[in-house]
Chains A and B, each alone.
Chain A
Amino acid sequence: MLKIATRNREQATIVAISGDVDLYSSPQVRKAIIGLTEKKTPLIMVDLAEVDYMDSSGIATLVEGLQQVGKYKGELKLFGLTAAVREVFELSRLDKVFQIFEDEEAAAGSFAQG
């Protein structure tokens, strides 16, 4: 079962996803992320460390989130990608479109520097 937990870290909101993100579960991820973009949350960090599998519907959901934050000049960053999930981003050639960080500290640090 997919689990999604949201918490705040300074000015950022962290969305921690756990489980497989596929055609069945990606609507839950979309609900969480689009819910934040509708509130114009300025900084969103998506924790993918506990995601072992993501398909194109999951990728599409994150692309939609990225597009939405762009509309209000917010930021959406990803961190903790497992090897399997990173490969899907690379195959999609979206690894260069997203800001991807090794871990939460690196992602949070990038906001501080920005």
Chain B
Amino acid sequence: MTQSTNNKNAHGRLLETVEFRLSSDPKLLKIVRASVAHLCELLGFTPEQRNQTTLAVDEACANIIKYAYDGKTDQPIEITARLHEDRLEVILRDYGKKVDHALLKSRDLDDVRPGGLGVHLIQSTMDSVSYDPAITEGNQLTLAKYRRVNAQDRNA
């Protein structure tokens, strides 16, 4: 894991960047969840926001393992977490099979069946979800969750 500090003066100042690189092994997902939960707490997220963000990142990693890497457990997943003053941005990069994101649309929730829920959970918990179409090898997904505004949280 690496950590760096930047002071980019964009909307919602960038406070920290934390990078992880792990293999596509489901047994490591718990470590990802614990790390993301901690970053959410550093940003002052509510427990609900923390749980939602943790769920979304976990589901995104699970989708990489299942779809981009077809269940292979030794492939790289890179996670970059950018802590902004107003939000947490998480970028997930894989080098697996190109996923047709049109096929990964949120499922019809009236259709009760196993599977197909992950994308729906990501989309319904995060404030923004986007795939980078310019990536030629593998996939890059960017998730963002905004901190609930509370003027007393910071600079108190």
Residues of A within 8 A of B (CB): 20, 22-24, 53, 55-57, 59-61, 63-64, 67, 84, 87-88, 91-94, 97
Contact = CB atoms under 8 A, between A and B. Distances in A.
Given A61-B114, A92-B117, A93-B109, A20 B30 contact: yes
9 contacts: A20-B33, A24-B27, A24-B30, A55-B59, A55-B118, A55-B121, A63-B114, A67-B114, A88-B121
Nearest to B29: A22
Interface of B: 26-27, 29-30, 33, 48, 51-52, 54-55, 58-59, 62, 65-66, 109, 112-115, 117-118, 120-121, 124-125
B117 A87 contact: no
A86 to B, nearest CB: 11
A64 B112 CA distance: 9
Cβ-closest 4 pairs across A and B: A24-B26, A56-B117, A60-B114, A23-B26
A87 B109 contact: no
Contacts of B58: 22, 55
